[in-house]
Amino acid sequence: MNKKSFGSRIVAAPYMVWAAIFIVVPLLIMAYFAFTDGSGNFTVDNFMQIARFKKAFALSIIYAVIATIITLLLAYPMAYYMTKLKISSQRMVMMLIMLPMWMNFLIRTYSWITILANTGLINKFLGLFGIGPLQLINTPGAVILGMVYDFIPYMILPIYTAMSKIDNSLLEAASDLGSNSWSRIRRVIMPLSLPGVISGITMVFVPSISTFYISQKLGGNKDMLIGDAIEYLFNTGPQYYNVASTLSLILMVMILVCTLIMNRFGDDEEVVV
Amino acid sequence: MTKQNIIELKDIFVSFGEEKVLDGLNLDIKDKEFITLLGPSGCGKTTTLRIIAGFLDADAGEVVFEDKNINGVPSYKRQVNTIFQRYALFPHLNVYENVAFGLRVKKLKEKEIKEIVTEMLHLVNLDGFEKRSISTLSGGQQQRVAIARAIANKPKVLLLDEPLAALDLKLRKDMQKELRRIQRQLGITFVFVTHDQEEALTMSDRVVVMNKGKIQQIGTPQDIYNEPENAFVADFIGESNILDGIMRDDFVAEFSGHVFDCLDKGFDKNENVDVVVRPEDVDIVPADKGMLKGTVTSVDFLGVHYEIIVDIGGFKWMIQTTDECFVGDNVGLFIEPDAIHIMKKSEYSGLYGDYSTYSEEMEHLSDITEDDDE
């Protein structure tokens, strides 16, 4: 069954061309820059320089992990709650969750500034009671909040989808066999929604670890994340393209490894438990 | 039977919106019996089962288990287990863990769990299947896992919701025997739901015939078949010729323009009644020797016997006979007194006519088989 029909090749052709031009070629260019110096000679010097960005890498990972955990803790109960609603209400709630995604993510991030700023909505409100102003913006908390806010739909959706596929008769069977509601969640819903959790984590962790805009606007450039470092280097001038490409390549490999580990974890769970 | 009631359903009413699903249901289930709820799709049999299991609360009425009211007791606290129509096995667990599910919930020791699971898998002939994943099992094997999983908890009552509906005929016959064997071996009460009257008659100690949320008749398979209470039961269980008749006196009934001796009594003089004559209880005799005379309009050879339709004064009788007949023959019917069963008139009188619309009726029956959801 390896041979694909002529028809299916034709149908896939436009995207294959697109993918080649805009995904494969840029990757090759990036790899080329990563392994060359300014004059195009092969070198691994660029990899020596990344030690300077240790802190950015570490911060990116920590922020992304924290944001992913918070997102999961918020999204999982929400997804569970949604599956218990009437079908019409489920659609409504789903709409509300998707609604912010209709707006550009830069604008959504920007609007948090007006909420968190020292003269922003929250501090103005607290000011009425003589409290504050509290330092909300330009803190690590604000960056993580931004990530959670921007990426939470990507966590809710796959978990909700996985949960709503669980046949109600399985829950009745568990109840029949003596499971109370907590035991049903632990023994049936959690394992069966795991594939949704895995893809949710991937879909939140990947954009979180590589984000650059959120940290600049809500973190006040105090702590540079790896995405900011790459952007900064590219914006500074062509002489930094090689290092920036190296950082990008390393980030991509890191994401790839994380994704593979997550997927392996998910596969194992289904078989072993 | 003088056995004790293990479950009593008292005046159960259930409605889904406007639709009355159970309409004042009263049912006593005796300890260790195999009782079958039988009826067409939508008669309320599955709903009755769900009320006993605790998946559904009745709008009114009382569910009594071992003399205690268990209204509102959640299903996980009831000493009953269910075998679901589509088995509802846990896809993320292997055979062993599926059977062990209820035991783990009860927090039994690993050694005990292993003992019980092994014993249960042996009971359902699945030795050596412990590590198999559910998705690699055939329908019959999944069925066995479902049985093992339910009885591993040693329930007092096992509820079975059309458990054999998804199996092919041969497998179904085997599982019928198997379930009967398991029920006898374990000595637990089985409440079995089916729309298949043959299945109900073969397996049960008692059959409960239901329609439109009401019990039509409760009795042994023999009672139900030989002494149906009304036209619905007579029609639903097996084949029947149901005729309008008049009780002239005790042991004397008139129908089809002829006066017959029968064994029924206790009706008013000249009371209008429904008369049931089973197709296999009619003898075909030469026209001049018959109590009734008619013309054969159709003959089907079914192997053990012929199924023939005889037109008698416009009413089409179905008769099963080993004598060969041909379409167009004039024949006589001879009916012994014990072949005649008299029923009181009911809301079902006149709904089930003769066999002139035989083929349509067959279609109706196949509808029921396809549409087994309620």
Element (H, E) at B356: none
CATH topology of domain B5-226: Rossmann fold (3.40.50)
Phi, psi (deg, nearest 5) at residue B191: -115, 110
What pLDDT sits at residue B370?
42
Structure token pair of residue A86: 């009437």
Residues from chain B that touch A167, judged by Cβ atoms under 8 A, are 88
Residues from chain A that touch B120, judged by Cβ atoms under 8 A, are none
Of B71, B77, B101, give the one whose Cα is nearest residue B89. Answer: B101
The whole-angstrom distance between residue A38's C-alpha and the CA centroid of its chain comes to 33
The domain segmentation of chain A, as residue ranges, is 53-272
The domain segmentation of chain B, as residue ranges, is 5-226, 239-370
What pLDDT sits at residue B287?
87
- C-alpha span between B199 and B204 (Å, rounded): 8
Q: Do residues B292 and B256 lie in contact, with contact meaning Cβ atoms separated by under 8 Å?
A: yes
The tens digit of pLDDT for each residue in A111-136 reads 999 999 888 889 889 888 888 788 88
Q: What is the mean pLDDT of chain A?
A: 88
Residue B156 has pLDDT above 60, yes or no: yes
Residues from chain B that touch A177, judged by Cβ atoms under 8 A, are 76, 81, 101-102, 105, 149-150, 153
Local confidence band at B369 (pLDDT 50, 70, 90 cut-offs): very low
Q: What is the ipTM of this complex?
A: 0.82
- Look up tokens 């959706």; give the residue: A157
Residues from chain B that touch A195, judged by Cβ atoms under 8 A, are none
Q: Do residues B38 and B160 lie in contact, with contact meaning Cβ atoms separated by under 8 Å?
A: no
The tens digit of pLDDT for each residue in B286-298 reads 988 889 999 999 9
Residues from chain B that touch A173, judged by Cβ atoms under 8 A, are 82, 84, 88-90
- C-alpha span between B265 and B328 (Å, rounded): 37
Element (H, E) at B372: none
CATH of A53-272, one of 3.40.50.970, 1.10.530.10, 1.10.3720.10, 1.10.150.20: 1.10.3720.10
Determine, for residues A192 and B88 on separate chains, whether the beta-carbon distance falls below 8 Å: no
Q: Do residues B162 and B172 lie in contact, with contact meaning Cβ atoms separated by under 8 Å?
A: no
- C-alpha span between B167 and B174 (Å, rounded): 10
- Look up tokens 């949710």; give the residue: A200
Q: Which of A169, A175, A187 sits opposite B75 (nearest CB)?
A: A175
Residue A27 has pLDDT above 50, yes or no: yes
Residue B251 has pLDDT above 60, yes or no: yes
Structure token pair of residue A11: 């149908």
Determine, for residues A177 and B92 on separate chains, whether the beta-carbon distance falls below 8 Å: no
Determine, for residues B88 and A191 on separate chains, whether the beta-carbon distance falls below 8 Å: no
User: Looking at residues B147-163, what average pLDDT do you find?
Assistant: 94
Query: Going by C-beta distance under 8 Å and a sequence separation of 6 or more, which residues neighbour residue B132?
Result: B94, B95
Query: Going by C-beta distance under 8 Å and a sequence separation of 6 or more, which residues neighbour residue B186?
Result: B151
What pLDDT sits at residue A146?
92
Q: Is A170 on the interface with B (CB under 8 A)?
A: yes
Q: What is the mean pLDDT of chain B?
A: 90
What pLDDT sits at residue A9?
83
Instruction: Note the CATH architecture for domain B239-370.
Output: Beta Barrel (2.40)
Strand order in the sheet with B258-261: B258-261, B252-255, B241-249, B271-277, B340-344
Local confidence band at B364 (pLDDT 50, 70, 90 cut-offs): very low
DSSP assignment string, B269-321: TTEEEEEEE-GGGEEEEEGGG-SEEEEEEEEEE-SSSEEEEEEETTEEEEEEE
Chain B nearest-CA distance from A260, in A, is 21
What pLDDT sits at residue B360?
45
- C-alpha span between B271 and B268 (Å, rounded): 5
Query: Going by C-beta distance under 8 Å and a sequence separation of 6 or more, which residues neighbour residue B44?
Result: B14, B21, B22, B23, B25, B210, B212, B213, B214, B374
What pLDDT sits at residue B331?
92
Chain B nearest-CA distance from A48, in A, is 47
User: Looking at residues B217-238, what average pLDDT do you find?
Assistant: 93
Local confidence band at A3 (pLDDT 50, 70, 90 cut-offs): low
Cis peptide leading into A133, omega within 30 of 0? yes
The tens digit of pLDDT for each residue in B76-107 reads 999 999 999 889 999 999 999 999 999 999 99
What pLDDT sits at residue B373?
43
Residues from chain B that touch A169, judged by Cβ atoms under 8 A, are 84-86, 88
Determine, for residues A176 and B133 on separate chains, whether the beta-carbon distance falls below 8 Å: no
| Interface mutation target, options B52, B83, B90, B135, chain A, most CBs of A under 10 Å | B90
Local confidence band at B133 (pLDDT 50, 70, 90 cut-offs): very high
Of A99-103, B31-35, B250-254, the poorest mean pLDDT is in: A99-103
